[in-house]
Structure 1
Amino acid sequence: MMISVRGVNYHVQVWNENAKDSLVLLHGFTGSVVTWEKVSSLLPTTMKIIAIDLLGHGKTDAPSNELLYSMEEQVEDLEDLFKQLDLHSFILVGYSMGGRVALSYISTYPERVKSLILESASPGLKTEEERANRRNSDEALAKKIEQNGIVSFVNAWENISLFETQKKLSKDTQLAIRNERLAQREVGLANSLRGMGTGAQKSLWPLLNQITTPVYLISGELDEKFCLIAQEMMDELPNAKHMIIAEVGHAIHVENPTQFATIIKDVYHK
């Protein structure tokens, strides 16, 4: 379904519409609601599952105004969307970029989130120097996407080291991931990098100790960088658990959807 939020049309996919308990899913950069189809099929029908195409992604609008893509604007869009969907209390799941969005959301609206599940996510970069360097590299990538187009970008993106482990997946799964990426629009991805890339967003590290909601950090064993980030986050979060999933990389929900769904079910039944 499409929902108008603060002048932007958001695409939302809902499974088990009449269920009482709610689960919200936020995808990563170059993703869409499609990434959650397998996991959602493995979850109980007693859960209302709401997957959202974030700004500039999937079938949600991709405005040309990059100011609309800031993390603060994305959080306000989600809050308005949740009000329209009459969501008062839910489990929030965020993968990678969606994890940064989820962390930003709970930092602003903690009362709505029953439990937070962060998959391969970070609170951003700690220093202004790191953020400035990342903004420069994200701007260079944004320009490359605009100049060379989606196909050229995806050909390069699917071969970065972060996704190396996905080459072990079945050809059908790899093709589905590629098609999901190819369905994106240049302006949406470029502005997403500029507005809510890791360099653009403010660091959430100083706010972690204020998040009292149960937080479940999920990392792939083969994704060393995000395993280390999660371990650092554990030192700051007052109510957190870190789970390392064997033999997978960055996208656990794609590389081992059954185990990912089991974790969600465990959190749901707590």
Structure 2
Amino acid sequence: MNPSRSEFITVRGLQYHIRHWGDASAPMLFMLHGWMDVAASFQFVVDCLQRDWHVIAPDWRGFGLTENADADCYWFPDYLGDLDAILDHYSPGRPVSLLGHSMGGNVACLYAGVRPARVAKLINLEGFGLPASNSEQAPGRYARWLDELRNPPTMRSYATQAEVAGRLQKTNPRLTDQRAAFLSEHWAKRNECGEWEILGDPAHKLTSPILYRVEEVLACWKAIAAPVLWVEADDTEAWRWMGPKETARIEIDRRIGFIRNIETATISDAGHMLHHDQPQALAELIERFLV
């Protein structure tokens, strides 16, 4: 495995963990992980890159080794604010190559539309967004959020690191034993009682009281100036949250149509965690697009 190094910087009042691979003099490539994931998740893709890159990947607030927000819930715009500060720290005034997976892909696409001059090229790995909402859902959504605040969510712990690896493989059966063992070291840590705790703030599991306003999102996507590589997995589990595959496919294609300069690709024999399932194929796509 290519060695990585950790750095801690202050981002909007939080101690942020930034993972680096490669020489600092190499071209920069920022990688943004998804929900309930960590920056180390990109290790297998980094190992497959053929060119020299300085890969910079943060643990989002409340994930991995980055501090929790010390609040009872998280607000999506905070990820945009954090990313803006991180890019100003490492690449002030210079456009960047930006890759995001799932939630990270959503952050990357929004940011590229809000700050089009800051993004030179954009790679979205299954950052589809969420199902469209309507105003009639608002009373029930707020009520659900208030109910969850009374009974905050928790994270279960595991007796051994092997159990953590098994949990990862349960979610993604394609994950090899070796990769699951590696990820378990970064996805959880051992506490004072000897149990393994997931490195994710339970507050991330709270229902958002704010409805997903898809037309606002698409207005941002329409403003993206950078070329975009949109990558999907042929066996994605996105339908679990996007709805029935037939209707969700129509909606996803509609959303793609709002991005002006876009190239699409599908990776075979891969699920939603395509950077774990087929890192070699993904690395080839990344470098073909960026170089």
Q: Same fold, TM exceeding 0.5?
A: yes
**Is structure 2 residue 83 aligned with structure 1 residue 73?**
no
Q: Which residue of 2 aligns with 1:31?
A: 37
- TM-score by length of structure 2 reads 0.75
Q: Does the CA contact (< 8 Å) of 1:21 and 1:90 recur in 2?
A: no
Q: Which residue of 1 aligns with 2:275?
A: 253
Q: Which residue of 1 aligns with 2:88?
A: 83
Question: Residues 46, 135 of structure 1: CA spacing in aligned structure 2 closer, same or farther, 3 A cutoff?
Answer: farther
Question: Residues 41, 120 of structure 1: CA spacing in aligned structure 2 closer, same or farther, 3 A cutoff?
Answer: same
Write the deviation string for residues 114-145 of structure 1: whole angstroms up to 9, x where unpaired.
11111111233322359757788888889888
Distance 1:170 1:6 in 2: 37
- Shift of the alpha carbon at 1:187? 9.0
1:31-70 → structure 2 map (5 Å cutoff): 31-66=37-72, 69-70=74-75
Distance 1:44 1:65 in 2: 41
Q: Does the CA contact (< 8 Å) of 1:215 and 1:239 recur in 2?
A: yes
1:164-203 → structure 2 map (5 Å cutoff): 166-183=172-189, 188-194=200-206, 202-203=213-214
Question: Greater share of helix residues, 1 or 2?
Answer: 1
Question: Residues 221, 150 of structure 1: CA spacing in aligned structure 2 closer, same or farther, 3 A cutoff?
Answer: same
Worse-superposed segment, 14-23 or 139-148 = 139-148
1:4-15 → structure 2 map (5 Å cutoff): 4-15=10-21
Q: Which residue of 1 aligns with 2:102?
A: 96
Question: Residues 38, 137 of structure 1: CA spacing in aligned structure 2 closer, same or farther, 3 A cutoff?
Answer: farther
DSSP-derived class of the 1:78 partner:
helix
- TM-score by length of structure 1 reads 0.81
- Shift of the alpha carbon at 1:167? 0.8
Distance 2:129 2:182 in 1: 29
Worse-superposed segment, 121-130 or 84-93 = 121-130
Q: Does the CA contact (< 8 Å) of 1:71 and 1:104 recur in 2?
A: no
DSSP-derived class of the 1:77 partner:
helix
Q: Which residue of 2 aligns with 1:220?
A: 233
Q: Does the CA contact (< 8 Å) of 1:29 and 1:97 recur in 2?
A: yes
Question: Residues 234, 190 of structure 1: CA spacing in aligned structure 2 closer, same or farther, 3 A cutoff?
Answer: same
Question: Residues 258, 136 of structure 1: CA spacing in aligned structure 2 closer, same or farther, 3 A cutoff?
Answer: farther
Question: Residues 237, 22 of structure 1: CA spacing in aligned structure 2 closer, same or farther, 3 A cutoff?
Answer: same
Write the deviation string for residues 127-181 of structure 1: whole angstroms up to 9, x where unpaired.
23597577888888898883453449x7997588xx4xx2133222233344543
Write the deviation string for residues 183-231 of structure 1: whole angstroms up to 9, x where unpaired.
4967943333448x69665531333222232111111101163782643
Question: Residues 168, 42 of structure 1: CA spacing in aligned structure 2 closer, same or farther, 3 A cutoff?
Answer: closer
Worse-superposed segment, 199-208 or 119-128 = 199-208
Q: Does the CA contact (< 8 Å) of 2:63 and 2:201 recur in 1?
A: yes
DSSP-derived class of the 1:146 partner:
coil
Distance 2:182 2:137 in 1: 32
Which structure has the greater CA radius of gyration?
A: 2
Query: How high is the sequence identity, in percent, across the aligned residues?
Result: 20
Q: Which residue of 1 aligns with 2:223?
A: 210
Worse-superposed segment, 218-227 or 246-255 = 218-227
**Is structure 2 residue 146 aligned with structure 1 residue 149?**
no
Amino acid at match of 1:252: L
